């Protein structure tokens, strides 16, 4: 018993040290390896201390999963990382739910029945929710189905009812001391699966970083509570660790999008915010959530309409070579559009080409650029960009005013000055990359439609901003050709 506690502390300390090493990109790889080693140790130790005739088959099943996991881990592309994490998350959640389910028939807990029934119920509902929510998120991210957010009538109410009913069933099951455990548990699992479906179905693409972080947290919480149910110290502690990590990231992502978690889960439907009047971005009175899915039809070209007198002064395509060749300090702002166009290699080459001309090139990474926290960093690291050049919003924002040129590739909302300039829009108050402060800006976006928030981008109209519409994988190589 004492040894059990010591080992649990040792293994969790191994995980914590591994995460500590992840605080720096120089040591992060070893941090991950320490984590993996601690995990292997925990699994081996569990095997060694577990006897019985079924041990061999347990080893077989773990090996099967290990091989499948390694094949999956080896075969996914970096651009598929969000859906990979979602899928694995779902597996973790499902495993925790199944562990408590399998533990029920053999449970011999005397005296701690209250703890057992309440924790199994909670682990089951959270695990089931993590599973169905993650699988839907994975399907969306992979582009298999549900490309537009799906909302059913009474969506939010059904979601709340599912949670409340699950809690009620857990309490009832507790009150009856598990007499009707089988139907109760089945009901809890179904309600959990339903809640996960409802959460993920209505989520739009740009909210994915928040939802993935949240589901990540849930998978940890499910593991931790399952640990309480089966009295496993390591499981309880490690699950808590993952739960906390997910919550930290969820909070960071919400802050970076200027949204509350409740708003993401039940309120705002993307694309419902449309430009209705001459002043782009100011439509404060418009209620959220009346239509589903991005709808760009009403958005005319803001640049053409409101700034006609300035068009003569705006730089045109002919000015591109001059801008690219004279700039000394260049900041590149990548967004999810770069990932969609698979233009990260071209963008990496653009940076290298500029550097070869003696220019100083940096990247500005917004926390929610992409589909999961830090997504852009991974893509650019894959494209061979040194991590020292990847700067987050706090580091890079003071530097925009010193930049000669900013190149925006596939990013919209995160550089939209409307976040600071206009009140009452979905992005008002959202921290943005202050690209407009640079001497000149080149925007390489697919089209002039507003981003996920539906708010017209005020940046496009500015006099020192040159816009090129088109697929980044075609536009960026053209820019490279202009550098001489």
Residues 151-170, one symbol each (x = binds other proteins by CB under 8 A, - = not), give: --------------------
Q: DSSP character for 286?
A: P
Structure tokens at 308: 């006609």
- As measured in angstroms, the least distance from the Cβ of 240 to other proteins is 4
Q: Is 295 a catalytic residue?
A: no
- As measured in angstroms, the least distance from the Cβ of 33 to other proteins is 7
Nearer to other proteins, 18 or 454 (CB): 18
Sign of CA dihedral 417, 422, 423, 426: negative
**Per CB under 8 A, which of residues 4..33 are in contact with other proteins?**
4-5, 8-9, 12, 15-16, 18-20, 22-26, 28-29, 31-33
Contact of 178 with 117, CB cutoff 8 Å: yes
Q: Which helix (H) or strand (E) holds 302?
A: helix 302-306
Binding residue (CB under 8 A) for other proteins from 3, 277, 285, 356? 356
Q: DSSP character for 265?
A: I
**Per CB under 8 A, which of residues 88..117 are in contact with other proteins?**
88-89, 91-96, 98-99, 101-106, 112, 115
d(CA 484, CA 475): 17
Contact of 330 with 359, CB cutoff 8 Å: yes
Nearer to other proteins, 15 or 117 (CB): 15
47 in contact with other proteins (CB under 8 A):
yes
Catalytic residue among 404, 413, 423, 481: 413
Sign of CA dihedral 74, 380, 480, 436: positive
SS3 332: strand
Nearer to other proteins, 242 or 303 (CB): 242
How large is the angle between the packed helices 81-103 and 208-229, nearest 10 degrees? 20
**Per CB under 8 A, which of residues 314..333 are in contact with other proteins?**
328-329
d(CA 131, CA 89): 7
**Per CB under 8 A, which of residues 114..153 are in contact with other proteins?**
115
360-365, strands of its sheet edge to edge: 390-392, 360-365, 329-334, 405-409, 440-445, 465-469
- As measured in angstroms, the least distance from the Cβ of 81 to other proteins is 6
473 in contact with other proteins (CB under 8 A):
no
336 in contact with other proteins (CB under 8 A):
no
Residues 230-249, one symbol each (x = binds other proteins by CB under 8 A, - = not), give: xxxxxxxxxxxxxxxxx-xx
State the number of binding residues for other proteins (CB under 8 A): 131
Nearer to other proteins, 244 or 340 (CB): 244
Sign of CA dihedral 363, 364, 366, 369: negative
Nearer to other proteins, 150 or 364 (CB): 364
Binding residue (CB under 8 A) for other proteins from 141, 343, 365, 414? 365
**Per CB under 8 A, which of residues 369..408 are in contact with other proteins?**
372-375, 377-378, 381-382, 384, 386-388, 390, 392, 398-399, 402
Binding residue (CB under 8 A) for other proteins from 57, 260, 310, 311? 57
Ramachandran angles phi, psi of 391, nearest 5° = -110, 140
Nearer to other proteins, 115 or 421 (CB): 115
d(CA 442, CA 405): 7
Sign of CA dihedral 74, 75, 81, 87: negative
d(CA 354, CA 327): 9
User: How do the residues of the chain divide into helix, strand and coil, expressed in percent and rounded to 5?
Assistant: 60, 5, 30
Interacting stretch for other proteins, rule CB under 8 A, among 71-79, 186-194, 282-290, 293-301?
71-79
**Per CB under 8 A, which of residues 173..232 are in contact with other proteins?**
212-213, 216, 219-220, 222-224, 226-228, 230-232
- As measured in angstroms, the least distance from the Cβ of 442 to other proteins is 19
- As measured in angstroms, the least distance from the Cβ of 214 to other proteins is 11
User: Which residues are known to be catalytic?
Assistant: 413
């Amino acid at each position: 018993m004492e040894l059990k506690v010591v080992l649990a502390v040792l293994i969790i300390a191994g995980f914590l040290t591994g995460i500590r090493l992840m605080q720096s990109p120089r040591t992060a790889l070893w941090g991950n390896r320490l984590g993996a080693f601690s995990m292997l140790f925990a699994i081996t130790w569990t095997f060694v201390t577990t006897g019985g005739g079924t041990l061999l088959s347990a080893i077989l099943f773990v090996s099967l999963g290990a091989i499948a996991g390694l094949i999956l881990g080896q075969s996914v592309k970096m651009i598929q990382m969000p859906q990979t994490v979602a899928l694995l998350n779902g597996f973790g959640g499902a495993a925790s739910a199944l562990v408590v389910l399998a533990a029920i028939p053999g449970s011999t807990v005397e005296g701690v029945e209250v703890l057992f029934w309440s924790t199994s119920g909670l682990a089951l509902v959270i695990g089931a929710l993590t599973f169905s929510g993650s699988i839907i998120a994975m399907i969306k991210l992979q582009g298999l189905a549900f490309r537009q957010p799906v909302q059913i009538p009474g969506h939010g109410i059904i979601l709340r009812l599912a949670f409340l009913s699950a809690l009620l069933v857990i309490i009832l099951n507790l009150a009856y001391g598990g007499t009707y455990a089988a139907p109760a548990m089945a009901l809890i699992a179904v309600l959990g699966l339903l809640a996960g479906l409802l959460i993920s179905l209505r989520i739009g693409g740009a909210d994915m970083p928040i939802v993935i972080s949240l589901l990540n947290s849930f998978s940890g919480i499910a593991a931790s509570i399952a640990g309480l149910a089966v009295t496993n110290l390591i499981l309880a502690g490690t699950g808590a660790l993952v739960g906390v990590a997910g919550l930290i990231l969820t909070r960071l992502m919400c802050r970076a999008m200027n949204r509350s978690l409740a708003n993401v889960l039940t309120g705002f439907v993307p694309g419902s915010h449309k430009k209705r009047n001459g002043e782009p971005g100011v439509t404060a009175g418009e209620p959220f959530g009346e239509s589903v899915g991005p709808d760009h039809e009403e958005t005319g070209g803001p640049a053409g309409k409101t700034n006609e007198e300035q068009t003569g002064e705006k730089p045109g395509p002919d000015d591109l070579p001059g801008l690219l060749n004279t700039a000394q300090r260049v900041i590149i702002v990548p967004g999810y559009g770069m990932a969609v166009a698979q233009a990260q290699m071209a963008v990496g080459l653009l940076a290298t080409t500029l550097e070869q001309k003696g220019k100083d090139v940096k990247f500005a990474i917004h926390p929610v650029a992409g589909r999961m926290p830090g997504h852009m960093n991974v893509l650019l690291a894959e494209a061979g960009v040194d991590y020292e050049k990847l700067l987050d919003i706090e580091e890079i924002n003071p530097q925009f005013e010193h930049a000669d040129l900013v190149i925006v590739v596939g990013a919209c909302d995160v550089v939209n000055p409307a976040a600071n300039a206009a009140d009452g829009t979905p992005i008002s108050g959202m921290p943005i990359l202050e690209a407009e402060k640079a001497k000149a800006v080149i925007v390489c976006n697919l089209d002039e439609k507003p981003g996920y928030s539906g708010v017209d981008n005020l940046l496009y109209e500015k006099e020192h901003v040159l816009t090129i519409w088109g697929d980044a994988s075609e536009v960026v190589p053209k820019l490279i050709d202009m550098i001489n």
